[in-house]
Amino acid sequence: MKHTRNMLSVLITTLALVSCAGEQKADDGWTDLFNGQDLTGWKTVAGTATFEVVDGTIVGSAVAGSPNTFLITEKTYGDFILELDLKIEHSSSNSGVMARGQFDPAARDGKGLVFGYQIEADPSERAWSGGLYDEARRGWLYPLDLNPEAKSAFKMGEFNHYRIEAIGNEIKTWINGQEVAYVVDDMDKTGFVGLQVHSIREPEDAGRKTSFKNVKIQTENLEPKPFNKDVFVVNNSLNSLTDYEKANGWRLLFNGQNSDGWRGAYKETFPDFGWSINDGILTIAKSNGGESTNAGDIVTEEMFSSFDLAFDFKLTEGANSGLKYFVTLTEGNKGSAIGLEYQILDDEKHPDAKMGIEGNRTLASLYDLIKADKQPRFIKPIGEWNKGRVVVYPDNKVEHYLNGVKVVEYQRGSQEFRDLVAISKYKIWENFGEAAEGHILLQDHGDEVSFKNIKIKTLN
């Protein structure tokens, strides 16, 4: 009998320990990462902000002079579905959730550095909550300019329900049931889950609180939740499309293997020199820096009217190029064919950046017409890939994006547009930029520039 009582005591003690552990698996396949009582299974890294458990909630408090601080799981995860509730009480308290997060304990003189995928909690007027940020590495992968309808999903001062799917090379996010971000990327396949308390700028913001609760994860028998809305996908895989993109009308303009669908401007065939395709990359070789004086521009065989066009480009030092649209090839001019141009340029090293009017020949601008309203931190350095995007709506509203941020907006054919044309180099062409349809053009300006991931969707 005594032995039985001892065994029973051990069993009760064991069950009690299990109930306090950081992970508790439920019958529905979810595992609680937070037990509601203490921070078992978690550790604080990279900063001095504090985390405590208050009434079943993890509460993080900002500390003056501290860098970003993270409460991270001691375990790491590969494919998973994560859900949690997050509350921000003050506009200074930017936060986020690390998914497959990484930690370098030796960085910053041994203070440590967290980096990797972070799903944003952004209480500022920018309202990019649910967007995907590559913490301490590449910066924004999915700003919410790409899905502006989702900017209203996050509610200040309330608990917001986050759902994060990291399955294979796809990361998808929801806030309060609303579809937010969709990214295809393969940089990190495993990592920890982390909760952030952001650094603060003003001393009076010390003590501001961010709260987390109901943190749970699934790692087996995962059932991805489909996106029902037509949401733009940031796809970093090489010249490929997801089934979701295909179902929503996207197709590749460049297949990564050959020049199918393209030809030289004013030519019947693709140039037999200058342009090359290697390892899925389309590159125009450096020549003499002249405009279409070597291999020449290339254009799509197809013509387009309203469309959503995305492309990646990489500049070499001092390089100049451009992507043109509504190119009709009817002007009979010398040099590059005429069309509306998304400028591709090394703003620092190429003299064209200082020409034109008030910077309207700089990177991502509507060339010689409208300057791109961009911040330096959203521009990738020379030699790295940048993401361009041009959207032409059926009502002739046009948008330019650079790395997911909208930098130009105008109405094609409006009086304002025509007034800009009247003081530009294009004033000699009647009804410039107002054609019903036209080719897409990639420019040979005598400098080495590369392209990949060129995809398009027609808009009705």
Enumerate the domain spans of the chain: 25-218, 239-458
Residue 407 pLDDT exceeds 60: yes
What mean pLDDT do residues 173-185 have?
Answer: 98
Rounded distance between C-alpha atoms, residue 460 and residue 456, angstroms:
13
| For range 164-186, the mean pLDDT | 98
Q: Band the pLDDT of 203: cuts 50, 70, 90.
A: confident
Residue 299, C-beta contacts closer than 8 angstroms, at least 6 positions apart: 262, 263, 264, 265, 327, 329, 337, 439, 440, 441, 442
Of 196, 215, 190, give the one whose Cα is nearest residue 100.
190
CATH class of 239-458: mainly beta
Burial class (CB in 10 A: 0-12, 13-18, 19+), 341: buried
Q: Does the structural domain 25-218 have CATH classification 3.40.50.80?
A: no
Amino acid at 181: A
Q: What's the rounded Cα separation, in Å, for the pair 404 and 413?
A: 25
pLDDT band at 258 (very low <50, low <70, confident <90, very high): very high
Same fold, 25-218 and 239-458: yes
69-73/80-88 β-pairing: unpaired
106, 247, 323, 377 from 442: Cα distances, Å: 45, 27, 5, 26
What pLDDT shows up at residue 3? Answer: 44
DSSP state of 163: E
Phi, psi (5° rounding) for residue 24?
A: -135, 115
Residue 112's pLDDT band, with cuts at 50, 70 and 90, is very high
Average pLDDT over residues 50-65: 94
What rounded mean pLDDT belongs to the chain? 92
CB contact at 8 A, 203 and 158? no
| Residue 23 pLDDT | 63
How many helices and strands (H and E) does the chain possess? 4, 30
d(CA 385, CA 275): 18
Q: pTM score, two decimals?
A: 0.92
- Among 192-206, 220-234, 249-263, the range scoring the smallest mean pLDDT is 192-206
Query: Does pLDDT of 404 surpass 60?
Result: yes
- pLDDT, residue 27, reads 65
Q: What mean pLDDT is predicted for residues 348-364? A: 95
Quick one: pLDDT at residue 311?
A: 98
Q: What is the mean pLDDT of residues 30-48?
A: 96
* Per-residue 3-state assignment (H helix, E strand, C coil) for 170-230: EEEEEECCEEEEEEECCCCCCEEEEEEECCCCCHHHCCCEEEEEEEEEECCCCCCCCCCCC
Q: What is the mean pLDDT of residues 272-294?
A: 89
The percentage of the chain sitting over the pLDDT mark of 90, rounded to a whole number, equals 85
Q: Distance (Å, rounded) from C-alpha 208 to C-alpha 240? A: 44
In this predicted model, what pLDDT tens digit does every residue of 113-123 receive, in sequence order?
999 999 999 99
Between 13-17, 335-339, 352-356, 371-375, the lowest mean confidence (pLDDT) is in 13-17
